[in-house]
Structure 1
Amino acid sequence: MGTITFLLVLSFLVFFHELGHFLAARYFGVKVYVFSIGFGKQLYAKEWMGTTWQFALVPLGGYVKMKGQDDSKPSLVENGNDSYNTKKPWQRIIILFAGPFANFILAAILYFSIAMMGATTWAAQVGQVQKNSPAFQAGILPNDEIIKINDTEIKSWDEIGKTIVNSDGALKFFIKRDGVIIAKTINPYISDSENMFKEKIKKRMIGISPSGKIIKLDLSFSESVVYAYEKTLLSSSMIFQGVQKLIQGAIPSSEVGGVISIGKVISDASESSIIALFAITALISVNLGVLNLLPIPALDGGHIMFNLYEMITRRKPSDRVFMFLTIFGWVILGSLMLLGIYNDINRIFLNN
């Protein structure tokens, strides 16, 4: 069942990505020959609106084959008003960007659905209080519920950390204890901590940890829109930073995951709940959008780079350079895929 869910989720993500390209291409009058979910041998196909819509044998991706644009033939030229070749560079950039943008839109839709169904988070309830910390000295106790910091209403644990980090000086905490509201003034201290990439950082803290109590967020329609926007933005930022840290060497290459890891994560999420499945699908969708925008030839970001070059210099890269860089891009992508699969297999053997 997990494998079926994985293939369905992956096909859905690929469909949405390619639909972005397809709609933008058709908007600018570019003919689309093929809209494919999967690569390789054709399993099923139907002709509709001048396009062949198909499922192919290897369901690990997809593509739209436009007139005048074919990744397998980088130097392909086809003339006519309905050719990708004849469109202005800015129009081609929009067609290319539309795929990743569709992934961001899909992620936002999924996060919005999660918010409407009942997103959950840690309650703003204190679990442990570190000895001799500012919170300890102010008299904060386990099970205290933090309801307000200065003039900021607090609904979840995340908001506590966000408010502390984004403020200066002493803070006035309003605590609910045994049904009574108590005010406490706490002066955060700068302490050593770690970010999500396990890098050493300095951070304003008061010395408390969450109780682990889970609450359901009661969000209105407009609050759900804001929640979806913020979660999509946060996920995108996190993945961009992750790629940057990987390039810098802050994250070891052994952390790169492949299709096996993705499949396991989706399978586990599907067995947990529909909300968990939506959340991991949204995260993978953002991941797909971000990675496709990297300036690697053969990816959307690489093609965007070529078109930006044409806009600036008023000339296209030579066919030889274009072909070389595209093949180089495929080598990079192939190497990353093999690295991910190698790491996945390694983890399987280490866990057994």
Structure 2
Amino acid sequence: MGTITFLLVLSFLVFFHELGHFLAARYFGVKVNVFSIGFGKQIYSKVWRGTRWQIALIPLGGYVQMKGQDDTKPGLYEDGTDSYNNKKPWQRIIILFAGPFANFVLAAILYFVIALAGANSLSPTVGTVQENSPALKAGIKPGDQIIRINNTEIKTWEQIGETIISTEGALNFYIKRDGQFISKVINPHVSDAQNMFRENIKKRMIGISPAPKVVTIYHDPVSAISFAWDKTIESSKMIFLGVQKLIQGIIPSSEIGGVITIGKVISDASESSIIALLAITALISVNLGVLNLLPIPALDGGHIMFNLYEIIARRKPSDRVFMYLTIAGWVILGSLMLLGIYNDINRLFLG
């Protein structure tokens, strides 16, 4: 069942990505010859409105084949106003960007649905209090529920850290303990910590950790829009930073996951709850959007760079350069895929 869920989710994400390219291409009058979910031998196809819609054997991606555009034939030129190669560079950039953009839109839609259905977060309930910490000195105890900090209403544990970091000086904590409301003044101290990339940083802390308790937050349609926007932006920044840290060597290459890891994550989420599945689908959708914008020639981002070059230099890169860079791009992608699979197999055997 987990494998079926993985394939359905991946196909859905690929379909949405390629639909972005397709709609933008059709908007500018470009003929789309093939809309494919998967690669290789076709399993099913149907011609509708001049486009062959097909499902192919290898379900790990997809593509739209436009008239006048073929990575294997950089010198391809097809006459007609409905040809991709006859469109202006800025129009081609929009067509290329539309795929990743569709992934961001899909993620926002999924986060919006999650917000309406009920978003799960850690409860703002204290689990442990560190020795000699500002929280302990102020009298904070395990089981205390933090209701408000200064004038900020607290609903999730995440908001506690955000509020402590974003304010200065002493803070007024309003807590609920045994049915009673108590006020405590806490002066955070700057301490050593690690961020999500395991980098050593300094940040304001009060010395508490959360209790293993989950709270469900339900949003109205207006606040759900804000939630969806914030989560999409937050996820995008996290993945962009992750790629940057990987290039810098801060994140080891052993952390790269392949299709096996993605499949396991989706399978585990589907077994947990529909909300968990929607959340991981949204995160993977953002991931696809960000990674496809990387300036690697075989990806949308690489083709966007080619078109930006054409706008600046007022000429296209030579067919030879285009071909060499595209081959290099495929080598990079192939190497990353093999590394991901290698890491997946290592995790399976080494736990």
Give the TM-score band, short-chain normalised: over 0.9
- 2:117·2:218 contact (CA, 8 Å) conserved in 1? no
Query: Is 2:138 the partner of 1:138?
Result: yes
Tell me how far 1:132 sits from its aligned partner. Answer: 1.2
Alignment of 1:55-204 (within 5 A): 55-204=55-204
Partner of 1:267: 267
Alpha-carbon displacement from aligned partner over 1:293-343 (angstroms, at most 9, x marks no partner)? 000001000000011111111111111111110111001000001111111
Tell me how far 1:180 sits from its aligned partner. Answer: 2.3
Tell me how far 1:178 sits from its aligned partner. Answer: 2.3
Tell me how far 1:127 sits from its aligned partner. Answer: 1.2
Ranges in structure 1 where 5+ consecutive residues have no aligned partner: none
**How far, CA to CA, are the matches of 2:312 and 2:16 in structure 1?**
31
- 1:75·1:323 contact (CA, 8 Å) conserved in 2? no
Partner of 2:282: 282
Q: Letter of the aligned partner of 2:192 in structure 1?
A: D
- 1:126·1:211 contact (CA, 8 Å) conserved in 2? yes
Alpha-carbon displacement from aligned partner over 1:264-292 (angstroms, at most 9, x marks no partner)? 11111111111111111111111100000
Which range moved further: 307-316 or 171-180?
171-180
Tell me how far 1:242 sits from its aligned partner. Answer: 0.7
- 1:74·1:326 contact (CA, 8 Å) conserved in 2? no
Q: Letter of the aligned partner of 1:244 in structure 2?
A: Q
Q: Secondary structure at the match of 2:218?
A: coil
Q: Secondary structure at the match of 1:275?
A: helix
**How far, CA to CA, are the matches of 2:9 and 2:74 in structure 1?**
30
Tell me how far 1:176 sits from its aligned partner. Answer: 1.7
Q: Letter of the aligned partner of 1:10 in structure 2?
A: L
Alignment of 1:243-254 (within 5 A): 243-254=243-254
Alpha-carbon displacement from aligned partner over 1:46-70 (angstroms, at most 9, x marks no partner)? 0001100000111110000001111
**How far, CA to CA, are the matches of 1:72 and 1:62 in structure 2?**
16
Tell me how far 1:227 sits from its aligned partner. Answer: 1.1
Q: TM-score, normalised by structure 2?
A: 0.98
- 2:124·2:210 contact (CA, 8 Å) conserved in 1? yes
Q: Letter of the aligned partner of 2:49 in structure 1?
A: M
Q: Letter of the aligned partner of 2:118 in structure 1?
A: G
- 2:125·2:211 contact (CA, 8 Å) conserved in 1? yes
Q: Letter of the aligned partner of 1:57 in structure 2?
A: L
**How far, CA to CA, are the matches of 1:105 and 1:74 in structure 2?**
31
Partner of 1:236: 236
Q: Letter of the aligned partner of 1:193 in structure 2?
A: A
Alignment of 1:290-309 (within 5 A): 290-309=290-309
**How far, CA to CA, are the matches of 2:258 and 2:280 in structure 1?**
15
**How far, CA to CA, are the matches of 1:162 and 1:147 in structure 2?**
14
Tell me how far 1:168 sits from its aligned partner. Answer: 1.1
Q: TM-score, normalised by structure 1?
A: 0.98
Alpha-carbon displacement from aligned partner over 1:79-113 (angstroms, at most 9, x marks no partner)? 21001111111111000000000001111111111
Identity %: 75
Q: Secondary structure at the match of 2:137?
A: helix
Q: Secondary structure at the match of 1:63?
A: strand
Indicate the RMSD between aligned Cα atoms, in angstroms: 0.9
Q: Letter of the aligned partner of 1:26 in structure 2?
A: R
Runs of 4+ in 1 over 4 A off after TM superposition: none
Give the paired residue count.
Answer: 351
**How far, CA to CA, are the matches of 2:83 and 2:13 in structure 1?**
26
Alpha-carbon displacement from aligned partner over 1:108-140 (angstroms, at most 9, x marks no partner)? 111111111111111111111111111111111
- 2:297·2:329 contact (CA, 8 Å) conserved in 1? yes
- 1:239·1:287 contact (CA, 8 Å) conserved in 2? yes
Ranges in structure 2 where 5+ consecutive residues have no aligned partner: none
